[in-house]
Amino acid sequence: MEEEEEESRGSIGNDMEAEAPGIVIAGGGICGLATALALHRKGIASLVLEKSKTLRAEGAVIGVHANGWHVLEQLGVAAELRETAHAPITAFHDVRRQGNKITRDDQYPVRTEFRCLNRKDLIEALAKDLPAGAIRFGCQIAAVHEDPSSHGALLTMVDGTTIKAKALIGCEGTCSVVAKYLGLPPVRAIPRPVLRGFTRYPHGHPFEDEFLRLSVGEIFIGRFTLNENLVHFSVTMPDPPTELTRDPKKARGLALEDLQRLQCPAEIIDLVRESDPASLNVVTKLLYRPPWEVAFGGFQKGTVTIAGDAMHAMGPFIGQGGSAGLEDAVVLARALARAVGAGGEEMVGKAIAEYIRERRLRLARLSLESFVVGLVARSPSPVTTLACAAVSMLLGTRSHEHAKYDCGRL
Ligand SMILES: Cc1cc2nc3c(=O)[nH]c(=O)nc-3n(C[C@H](O)[C@H](O)[C@H](O)COP(=O)(O)OP(=O)(O)OC[C@H]3O[C@@H](n4cnc5c(N)ncnc54)[C@H](O)[C@@H]3O)c2cc1C
């Protein structure tokens, strides 16, 4: 039933070649929907093309920092999301162990708003205020070409139909067809599976209310308490993915073997062992665009650009990928609204250039920070670790300077 409703919601204009009403957004994930909503709040129509048949919300929770909450405020959905969000996370705890020996134990407060949201709630909140027909589901873009009759783009779907777009924003994540059209190289992959899941403690969990990041040898565990009975965890496994790690229950078996071999604390082993099997999911590799590509990449051709992971995939290392995509949405919609207000399509290209100029430094810095944190996590070399620690210190990673950023009003 739900699927039928979702499909009919996006059933406008299924003809062989169609001209989109305004701006076309490729991909209806966090960034695509936030961009459509930001444009809608500014009175600008857009059409989201989403390859899935329904709204997608993979991965159970997402950590949203203060900069992301600022955007949700601007989009008018923060209040309702705070009601379903989990309690604020008030402390980080970084621990490094080698066997039974603890080589680092660093606990520090989080001074800005940082809460976990159910991804489903976030996606639904962003989609629900869009006008009927603003999202077209089951619509996978196969290729993008320049539209010879305008500065826009000609989109070819996998079923062979085409759509002309006066302006195109690629928000289709790490496998972006639009990024390819712009000439960007594919994102890079770190081939390490991440198992994620929830564990329920009917009589209350034994943990501090904090975000624990525990590194034991080559394995990384993230754990945050969502409420007194529910705990979310992630385990980044040491070896490249295999058929076994693609299956969440088998991946849990392998993760448990690694945790035992590396003498992880019993409470962590229990956390993973007792997890709800239905909540388990595996990301087989971590994808990122290197910071130098974010700093220097060509993100515009005429009235075509990109946003979100398509532009700056950064993996989970500083938990900023989603919030950075939300920021993109506000900055882009604000620039486009100014262009439309100034009266003309020819201004759209200029607005996109302005958006890229405004975002470039912020995103290069976030990408660098995430890259460096990810490198420390997987490099055994003391020289690399030292160099990365110096960069992290300069960027203020420990005090979450990145979360204090305010991208301004919509
Ligand atoms: C393990 C892990 C943990 C993370 N934790 C956090 C966190 O705590 N906080 C945080 O802020 N970020 C986190 N991130 C990053 C965050 O998940 C991403 O940055 C965010 O989801 C990107 O959103 P997006 O809309 O740009 O792309 P996506 O979420 O990938 O959405 C892209 C959409 O485009 C659609 N699509 C793809 N190709 C096409 C096509 N050809 N045609 C049409 N549609 C298409 C897809 O179906 C999808 O709906 C994490 C990432 C990982 C891997």
Ligand 1 pocket test: pick from 61, 69, 187, 309 the residue with the most ligand atoms within 8 Å of its Cβ.
309
The model's confidence at residue 405, banded by pLDDT at 50, 70 and 90, is very high
* Residue 237 · residue 127 · CB < 8 Å: no
Among the ranges given (289-303, 323-337, 385-399), the one the predictor scored with the smallest mean pLDDT: 385-399
Contacts of 240 by beta carbon, 8 Å cutoff, 6+ apart: 191, 192, 193
pLDDT (0 to 100) of residue 388: 84
Judged by DSSP in three states, 126 sits in helix
pLDDT for residue 315 is more than 50: yes
pLDDT (0 to 100) of residue 12: 31
Contacts of 148 by beta carbon, 8 Å cutoff, 6+ apart: none
* Best mean pLDDT range from 4-13, 28-37, 244-253: 28-37
In order of 169, 331, 341, 359, 372, the CA distances from 335 in angstroms are: 13, 6, 10, 11, 31
pLDDT for residue 11 is more than 60: no
What is the rounded average pLDDT of the residues 386-409? 89
pLDDT for residue 4 is more than 50: no
pLDDT (0 to 100) of residue 64: 96
Q: What is the pLDDT of residues 57-101, one digit of tens each?
A: 776 899 999 999 999 999 999 999 999 998 899 999 989 887 778
The model's confidence at residue 172, banded by pLDDT at 50, 70 and 90, is very high
**pLDDT > 90: what percent of the chain?**
71
pLDDT (0 to 100) of residue 53: 96
More confident residue, 391 or 342: 391
What is the rounded average pLDDT of the residues 321-340? 96
What is the rounded average pLDDT of the residues 347-358? 96
Ligand 1 pocket test: pick from 62, 64, 126, 141 the residue with the most ligand atoms within 8 Å of its Cβ.
62
pLDDT (0 to 100) of residue 18: 60
Tell whether ligand 1 has an atom less than 6 A from the beta carbon of residue 325: yes
* d(CA 220, ligand 1 centre) in Å: 21
CA torsion 212-215-220-223 (nearest 10°) is: -10
pLDDT for residue 14 is more than 90: no
Tell whether ligand 1 has an atom less than 6 A from the beta carbon of residue 32: yes
The CA angle 301-306-310, to the nearest 5 degrees, is 130
Segments of 260-405 assigned E as strands: 281-283, 286-288, 300-301, 304-306
Q: Which long-range contacts (CB under 8 A, 24 or more apart) does 206-209 make?
A: 206/267, 207/231, 207/267, 208/91, 208/93, 209/87, 209/89, 209/90, 209/91
pLDDT (0 to 100) of residue 30: 97
Cα-to-chain-centroid distance, residue 267: 29
Domains of the chain: 2-77+119-188+287-404 (3.50.50.60), 192-284 (3.30.9.30)
What is the rounded average pLDDT of the residues 297-320? 96
pLDDT for residue 198 is more than 60: yes
What is the rounded average pLDDT of the residues 188-194? 94
Q: What mean pLDDT, rounded, does the chain reach?
A: 90
Residue for token pair 């003309």: 344
Tell whether ligand 1 has an atom less than 6 A from the beta carbon of residue 50: yes
* d(CA 317, ligand 1 centre) in Å: 14
Q: What is the pLDDT of residues 18-29, one digit of tens each?
A: 665 579 999 999
Among the ranges given (20-29, 124-133, 267-276, 336-345), the one the predictor scored with the smallest mean pLDDT: 336-345
Numbers of helices and strands, H then E, in the chain: 14, 21
What is the rounded average pLDDT of the residues 296-316? 96
pLDDT for residue 6 is more than 80: no
Structure tokens at 349: 């290209």
What are the beta bridge partners of residue 117?
62
pLDDT (0 to 100) of residue 3: 38
Cα-to-chain-centroid distance, residue 13: 30
pLDDT (0 to 100) of residue 7: 39
